[in-house]
Structure 1
Amino acid sequence: METKDYNLTISDHEFKVKGYWLDQVDDFGQNVDYPVVIICPGGGFTFHSEREEEPIALRFNSYGMHAVVLEYQLIEDRPVYPSALQELAKTIDWITKQPASRHVDKSKIILVGFSAGGHIVATYNGVATNELLRKKYGLEQYNGQHAAVILGYPVIDMTIKGSFPDDDKALHQITEDKSLWKAQDLLNENSKPAFVWQTQTDELVKVVNTIKYVDRMNELNIPVEYHLFGSGIHGLALGTYVTQKPGKKKYLNSWTAKWIELALNWLQMMKFLG
């Protein structure tokens, strides 16, 4: 396997991605093109959680998928949006331009988002599949499209009281564009299938976030699989010792940790894997 950092560029700035590229297996006796996941970690739009980067990438690698981690725009000297959407579009475009020797199945690009990164992925699933919105937010210049999304304890509706961000100042720092505050309202009949999971005891992002998104997908007859686990804190990541903060048992949850196996099963069922 090869891991490599890259600097990509959109119109006004550079951003970083990291690729985790699978090697070919000689025993197969033929070349195989692998699907690829693009991972948007959480971090409240103020940092990128490393617990939701390499550990997640390596698990998807173990399922026979390339992985790319996107270090998207944070709240710094500019709003998160629309830069984060353009960065994601550019990353997809960049993947479609990988050489044949990389062996990427460019028809099977899966977006994976956690928490704040989940809002970027969920929003992109609406904006990038609407031609008018693609043009409005400067995505029309980029090629390629995603095939599906996987959302882990995602922020969906940033206007829900008592749920992240629950702070008008932070909300406006993320974006002044109110049409991007509610990812569920951006979904349309061309949006891609989704696998969504959350815990009922999430103390930071209320469960109503995922319910709103799944309900809207059902209304639009878009394939969706939803798992609401009965226990677990926000930010579980894998829910195993691999992503456990040292000495903090609350980051361990053997039942909720099954989410990634369920996601694998869903990818297989949807013909995105295997």
Structure 2
Amino acid sequence: MKSLLSLAVAWLLPCHSLFAAENPIVLWSGGAPGALGTSPKDIPTLTPYLPAKPTGAAMLLIPGGSYSGIYEGQAEPFALWLNEQGLTVFVLRYRLGSAGYRYPAQLQDAVEAMFQIRGSAAKWKIDPKRIGAMGFSAGGHLVSTFINRPEDGMILGSDRSGSPRPDLAILCYPVISMITKPHGTSRKMLIGDSPEEKLVRQTSSELQVKPGLPPVFLWHTMEDKLVPVEHAQHYAAALHQNNVPHELHLYQNGDHGTGLIGTQHPWFADLLFWLRAQKFIP
């Protein structure tokens, strides 16, 4: 049965977008690396959503949830909205700290997802050089880590070739730092209660930016009480210092989770303007 939020989205989107989800793809057919069991929480999946009028570009969509859950309000509703813009979307449901998985298990799932999407580009009728990643909150942290340090998610001895790094990144009120005003639950779920200093710095995305990263769109609200706006500000400053193309949008009003589907928040139009400049949508 569809959630009430999904049903609400049905009234907002044309009929041809409904029921666009394909069957979920089990990400690791032989079991995830370091799997702690065989229940659903140990089996990450990738769910494709196909647009009626594809542009040839795609988006890996990573919901948030403090690394302790998957917030579904940032999954299917946004997949359907992105479908309306012509993007082929893949929703990643990754392994979580609440199930005992610590860094880099989540990044391994994101890297494998991107390898599979690019490797099946012909099947999905998408351009392998126009695949972005979009994340909310802790999902935004995962996306920032993904563009900063994809090598941390590579499995030693695998036969994968090429880079899994996305071609652009969209960070929505992201968790960024594990040092400056960290979000306590996300930090604990990702790196544990007493992480080594090296790991804390490795997972603080503002410290891991380097020249040559793909373009980044990030936004936050000044009133966010859960993940302070400094997270986005520090990351944008690091992008600027390293000459990485980016846009930072700060909105005065709104707490954490502002701008979900069904609202009239200006970030929707700002993002679409940016995506057109990146040649992801017409």
TM-score normalised to structure 2 length: 0.79
Alignment partner, residue 22 of structure 1? 51
What residue number does 2:21 align with? 3
**What is the CA–CA distance in structure 1 between the aligned matches of 2:192 and 2:25, rounded to whole Å?**
27
Q: Where does the alignment leave 5 or more consecutive residues of structure 2 unmatched?
A: 1-16, 36-42
Question: Could you give the per-residue CA deviations for residues 155-179 of structure 1, whole angstroms, max 9, x where no partner exists?
Answer: 0002223x41279755642893223
**Identity over aligned pairs, percent:** 27
Q: Please identify, of 139-148 and 14-23, the stretch whose mean Cα deviation from structure 2 is larger.
A: 139-148
Paired position in structure 1 for 2:4: none
Q: Cα gap change, 1:56/1:184 in structure 2, threshold over 3 Å: closer, same or farther?
A: same
The number of equivalent residue pairs is 246
Q: Which amino acid aligns with 2:183?
A: F
Counterpart for residue 249 of structure 1: none
Q: Residue type of the partner of 2:192?
A: Q
Question: Tell me, which stretches of 5 or more residues in structure 1 are unaligned?
Answer: 26-31, 129-133, 243-251
The counterpart of 1:173, out of the listed 186, 192, 195, is: 192
Shift of 1:266: 0.5
Stretch deviating more after TM superposition (181-190 or 220-229): 181-190
Residue number in structure 1 paired with 2:83? 61
Q: Secondary structure at the match of 1:107?
A: coil
8 Å contact kept, 2:69–2:98: no
Instruction: Name whichever structure is richer in strand by fraction.
Output: 1
Aligned to 1:245: none
State the shift of 1:193 in Å.
0.9
User: What SS does structure 2 have at the residue aligned with 1:34?
Assistant: coil
Find the residue that maps to 1:120 and give its secondary structure.
Answer: helix
CA distance in 1, matches of 2:84, 2:268: 11
The TM-score with structure 1 as length reference comes to: 0.82
Secondary structure of residue in 1 paired with 2:138: helix
Change in CA separation of 1:171 and 1:54 when aligned onto 2, cut-off 3 Å = closer
Give the SS at the match of 1:68: strand
Aligned match of 1:158: 178
Aligned partners of 1:171 and 1:159: how far apart in 2?
A: 13
Please give the residue correspondences for 1:214-229 in structure 2 after superposition, counting only pairs within 5 Å.
214-229=236-251
1:169/1:88 CA distance change after superposition, 3 Å = closer
Q: Could you say if the C-alpha distance between residues 166 and 103 of structure 1 is closer, same or farther in structure 2, counting changes exceeding 3 Å?
A: closer
